[in-house]
Structure 1
């Protein structure tokens, strides 16, 4: 399947924020740093700079805070541990549909003294070939991270992580091998169902979510990254069905950098429409009703054959 030139991304681990622990400062100093607005508490005893980089969006701030909990947890834990599941996904730089509310760690043994509201411990066998270090933090390997997410997250959340990892170069073979080693365990059947619809062509979590909704509701699988020849050149559309002339573009921008960017996007949209077919723009708010919106544009025979995929509805 052709891909947009330069579309393939690479693994770029997350930038880790600077973290301070309350235990390293006198209590009155910590209180003053918080009161003055210089520090923000992200978990008990763990603090970050209250002000992030200029132009930081709310979702970026939330992600920075989640990473702060991970970094702070690493410094506070006094047992062997490896960050796993969505926490490892964040460290690897993968998007998540929802941010974890606590730091997920994999431990060989139970450690009662490590119980905390900001920590979720997973206990069991740790295979040396499935753990590594990223940006100075102990984490599960990329394949193990995605396998854990596939087996434990809701299908939508799992697909977002799997799509992103495949798009960034994780091979399907290595992921399937990791899952085969967990065959028969809780979540393995659901993991297989999600992996069966994973696609390395998705370039954002919104594109993955759009495709998931359509698949869950029983619509035919759309193609990702469709080239369309227009009067302005070739544009690559997020997903759609070429055979029926129906294209979907996910618009996840919170804001456009400038009026020029907005006008350029409008020219692109106009050119796609002029090239023929139907172009539907999708936003986060549209996901709940996306299938009902798309269905009338499909052939009647397809509309009659739609059956929700129960394996993705869990």
Structure 2
């Protein structure tokens, strides 16, 4: 997953720049990754590695392309700086006509997914010297092709980055009758640029999929300790959902960790005393959606009984 800042393109290297033994060793330890026949990229470990790999494969395709193309779908989302969720490690490319594709011997498989469709000038642009679909077209393409949670993550962050919702709606309307349009309408109806993290977007999709009322975003709650902003919640039931995907206390200096822990405790206590039930959700919880939804249902039932 990425923040909403645009990533730098990874540097590509010809395999001929390395000795055979060095190339084998660096491929084995993951420092180098093959992105096309005869081309590798040096990828640092850590967060964002898969996004950098996708960009490297897109850039490698661009270097060899002989017909018009635009990086699109998830690859365009990464290039624009959108968040992603469960990103596939391939490059997506849109071309105007079905290409004649013959995989070259030695090319790794599944490096590029090719899409062909009419692409109006309005939906084309250039970023970092690479042809790419516009942000609005990228949001629609991802909404039509990605699974619900992944689609909403891109759509929320696209709107947060400034995608024009009117143009997004126009592009989707023009695609009426096409594959994935119906599911895209559901995603885009739920999309909200106020979402502040991909985790929040995934929670909102799971709640939608479970048929529960939509969660409100960025709620301001007055308490004795000040006004606090909640990630998500049901205001009518005073149930808050806080997504905790950020810094762990253990990664901070001892003094910082203690101060943050005490501040979080005061905040939590103040919210509880103001009548709120606060549920914390982590990335691990998103891997067990049934259990998470059961927690949310139990919270809603409990608060519903309280209000009778």
Q: Same fold (TM over 0.5)?
A: yes
Q: 8 Å contact 1:13–1:134 — kept in the other structure? A: no
The question of 1:35 aligning with 2:37 is answered no
**How many angstroms does 1:254 deviate by?**
5.8
Q: 8 Å contact 1:103–1:118 — kept in the other structure? A: yes
Q: Which residue in 2 is equivalent to 1:178?
A: 171
Q: Which residue in 2 is equivalent to 1:150?
A: 143
CA spacing shift, 1:78–1:29, aligned 2, 3 Å: farther
Q: Which residue in 2 is equivalent to 1:130?
A: 123
- Match of 1:290, SS state, is helix
TM-score (norm 2): 0.84
Q: Distance in 2 between matches of 1:215 and 1:178?
A: 24
- Match of 1:298, SS state, is helix
Which of 236, 241, 255 does residue 243 from structure 1 map onto?
A: 236
- With 217-226 and 232-241 compared, the bigger mean Cα shift is at 232-241
- Match of 1:209, SS state, is helix
Which of 64, 83, 100 does residue 71 from structure 2 map onto?
A: 83
Q: Distance in 2 between matches of 1:89 and 1:227?
A: 30
Specify every segment of 5 or more residues in structure 1 that has no aligned partner in the other structure, as ranges. Answer: 1-9, 304-314
Q: Distance in 2 between matches of 1:265 and 1:65?
A: 36
Q: 8 Å contact 2:5–2:81 — kept in the other structure? A: yes
RMSD of aligned residue pairs (Cα, Å): 2.5
Q: 8 Å contact 2:50–2:89 — kept in the other structure? A: no
- Match of 2:279, SS state, is strand
Which of 276, 294, 299 does residue 296 from structure 2 map onto?
A: 294
Q: Distance in 2 between matches of 1:30 and 1:255?
A: 41
Q: Which residue in 2 is equivalent to 1:280?
A: 279
**How many angstroms does 1:16 deviate by?**
1.6
Q: Which residue in 2 is equivalent to 1:94?
A: 82
- Match of 2:242, SS state, is strand
Q: Which residue in 1 is equivalent to 2:53?
A: 65
Q: Distance in 1 between matches of 2:279 and 2:128?
A: 40
Q: 8 Å contact 1:11–1:169 — kept in the other structure? A: no
Q: Which residue in 1 is equivalent to 2:198?
A: 205
Q: 8 Å contact 1:13–1:135 — kept in the other structure? A: no
Specify every segment of 5 or more residues in structure 2 that has no aligned partner in the other structure, as ranges. Answer: 104-108
TM-score (norm 1): 0.82
How many residues align? The count is: 286
Q: Which residue in 2 is equivalent to 1:110?
A: 98
Q: Distance in 1 between matches of 2:230 and 2:185?
A: 28
CA spacing shift, 1:42–1:95, aligned 2, 3 Å: farther
Which of 108, 112, 116 does residue 119 from structure 1 map onto?
A: 112
- Match of 1:160, SS state, is helix
**How many angstroms does 1:283 deviate by?**
1.0
